[in-house]
Amino acid sequence: MKILIISAFPPCQKTAGQDYTRRMINALIKNGNEISLIYSLYPNHLVELPSSVKILKVIKPSFIKCFGKISFHPFFTKRYDKKILNYIKSIGEEFDMIYFDFSQVQLYSLYVKHPNKVLMCHDVISQKYFRNNKNQLWWIKKSEFKILSSSKHIITFSKKDCNFIKEMYGLNSANVNFYLKNEKFKYTNSSTLYEKTFCFYGAWNRIENNECLYEFLNSIYLKLNNDIRIIIIGGGLPEKLTSLLNSFPKIEIKGFVDNPVYEISKCQALIAPLKHGAGVKVKVIDAFTSGTKVLGTDITFEGIEDNSEMQLFVKIKEYSDLINILNNWEPVTIEYKQKAADEFYNRYDSNHFSDIIEKLD
C-alpha cells in the first residue's frame, strides 16, 4: 500500500507522540508499505526515519497563516498552507491512503477528497481545552467537529477517547495501542534497582509536565526523608526550572536519554501527578513496560487499564498525599517488576495501527 503521511511534527525520538509516529512508520515499512511524508518544522527536531521514506514537502508553521482561516481556532490553522494543500490535492490520487497525524494538520483533510483518509488524534483537543482553557472551548469544539467529520476513519489511543468523541460529536472512531519502546522488557542479573530513588519523566517544555514538577519542588520535596533521591528524565527543561533543580543536592538531572524505559526501570516508581492534559500518557506506558509503578492522578491514568494481578497504579487525590506515600514506601523488587512487566506486555502489545490497516475500508 502507498501511504502519504502528513504530520504536525518531525517523526523522531524527541517526544512520545513523535516517537509513536516514527515507530508506526517503521512498522508500516516492515509490513511492505511504501511511505511518503509531509511534515511540519519544529525547533531543534530532525526527522529520524529510514532513507526509503520519501520526504515530499516541509510545512513552516506561522501564526500569520491563522488569519486566512479565522473561523477555525488557531490551534488548527498555524500549519495550514494553501500551497501545501494544492500540492496534496495534486498527488492524492497516487496514494491508497492519506494519514493525517496529529490534530494540528487535520484541517487539510477538510479540503482533500480521498476515499481513504485517516485522522490520528493523539489527543482529543476539546477534552484538553475543557481542562485548560474553557473560555475558548466553544471555538475548539466547533473547529474540531467540522474537521473530524471530514473522514470516516478516526483513530485514538484509548477506548475512553473513542467514547468521548462519540458523546461529544456523535462520530465513530477506533483505538490503537502504542508501540512499546523496549518490546518485551527483561531484567538481568546485572540490572540495577535503587531502593529509595524515584523519577519524573516527560517533555519539559510542556506546561502540564513542568507545572507538577514545580509544585513538587515547592510543596513536597523538602518534607521528604533525607535519603530519598529524585531523578529527572527528559529534555526541554526551562533554564529557570533547571536552576531550581540544581539547588537540591539529591536531585539528578538525566535530561534526554536514548532509552528512558531503562532509566525508569532503575527507580522504585515514576511520579506523575498531572492536573492537566488529555489522552493516554505515554510516560505511563513506558513505566509499565518495565513493571514500574506510577504515582498519579485520574488524569495520569486515563485511557489505561491496570494489571489485574501485579498492579501498578498508585492513585493520589492531593499533592500532599505524596509525602506519606514516599516517606513510607515499601521497596519493590526486581522480581516483582519483572512479573508486572510481563503481565503488562502480554495484554498490551497488540492492536497497533500497522496491524489493523488492512481492515480499514
21 and 137 in a single domain? The answer is yes
Comparing 222 with 361, which gets the higher pLDDT?
222
Comparing 191 with 276, which gets the higher pLDDT?
191
Determine, yes or no, domain membership for 189: no
Mean pLDDT of 254-265: 91
Give the count of domains, the chain: 2
Q: Over the stretch 337-346, which tens digit does the pLDDT of each residue have?
A: 999 999 999 9
Comparing 100 with 352, which gets the higher pLDDT?
100
pLDDT for 360: 73
11 and 157 in a single domain? The answer is yes
59 and 146 in a single domain? The answer is yes
pLDDT at 276 over 80: no
Determine, yes or no, domain membership for 352: no
One-character DSSP codes across 258-319: S-HHHHHHTSSEEEE--SS--S--HHHHHHHHTT-EEEE-HHHHTT-PPPSSS--EEE-SST
For residue 269, name the pLDDT band (cuts at 50, 70, 90): very high
Q: Over the stretch 143-155, which tens digit does the pLDDT of each residue have?
A: 999 999 999 999 9
CA dihedral 188, 190, 194, 199 (to 10 degrees): -60
157 and 246 in a single domain? The answer is no
One-character DSSP codes across 104-157: GGGGGGGG---SSEEEE-SS-HHHHHHHH-GGGHHHHHHHHHHHHTT-SEEEES
pLDDT at 327 over 80: yes
Domain extent at residue 239: 197-347
Residue with cell string 486566512: 68
Q: Over the stretch 218-237, which tens digit does the pLDDT of each residue have?
A: 889 899 999 999 999 998 88
For residue 289, name the pLDDT band (cuts at 50, 70, 90): very high
pLDDT for 361: 60
For residue 238, name the pLDDT band (cuts at 50, 70, 90): confident
142 and 260 in a single domain? The answer is no
**To the nearest whole number, what is the mean pLDDT of the chain?**
91
Determine, yes or no, domain membership for 186: no
Classify the C-alpha dihedral 302-299-45-174 as positive or negative: positive
pLDDT for 237: 87
204 and 336 in a single domain? The answer is yes
277 and 330 in a single domain? The answer is yes
For residue 331, name the pLDDT band (cuts at 50, 70, 90): very high
For a pLDDT cut of 90, what percent of the chain falls above it? 65
Determine, yes or no, domain membership for 191: no
Determine, yes or no, domain membership for 357: no
Comparing 272 with 278, which gets the higher pLDDT?
272
137 and 215 in a single domain? The answer is no
pLDDT for 132: 61
pLDDT for 307: 92
pLDDT for 355: 83
Determine, yes or no, domain membership for 138: yes
pLDDT for 133: 60
Q: Over the stretch 31-82, which tens digit does the pLDDT of each residue have?
A: 999 999 999 999 989 999 999 999 999 999 998 887 878 899 999 999 999 9
Residue with cell string 496534496: 88
343 and 311 in a single domain? The answer is yes
Q: Which of 175, 207, 230 corresponds to the end of one domain? A: 175
Determine, yes or no, domain membership for 45: yes
Burial of 247: CB neighbours in 10 Å, binned 0-12, 13-18, 19+: exposed
pLDDT at 196 over 90: yes
pLDDT at 201 over 90: yes
Determine, yes or no, domain membership for 356: no
pLDDT for 150: 95
161 and 90 in a single domain? The answer is yes
For residue 207, name the pLDDT band (cuts at 50, 70, 90): confident
159 and 206 in a single domain? The answer is no
Full-model pTM? 0.82
Domain harbouring 292, CATH code: 3.40.50.2000
326 and 288 in a single domain? The answer is yes
pLDDT for 131: 60
Mean pLDDT of 173-186: 87
For a pLDDT cut of 70, what percent of the chain falls above it? 98
Q: Give 305-310 contacts, CB < 8 A, sequence gap 24+.
A: 305/347, 307/340, 307/343, 307/344, 307/347, 308/343, 309/339, 309/343, 310/336, 310/339, 310/340, 310/343
Q: Could you give the 3-state DSSP secondary structure of residue 185?
A: coil
Max distance between CA atoms of the chain, in angstroms, equals 64
Q: Select from 311, 348, 28, 11 the least CA-distant residue to 178.
A: 348
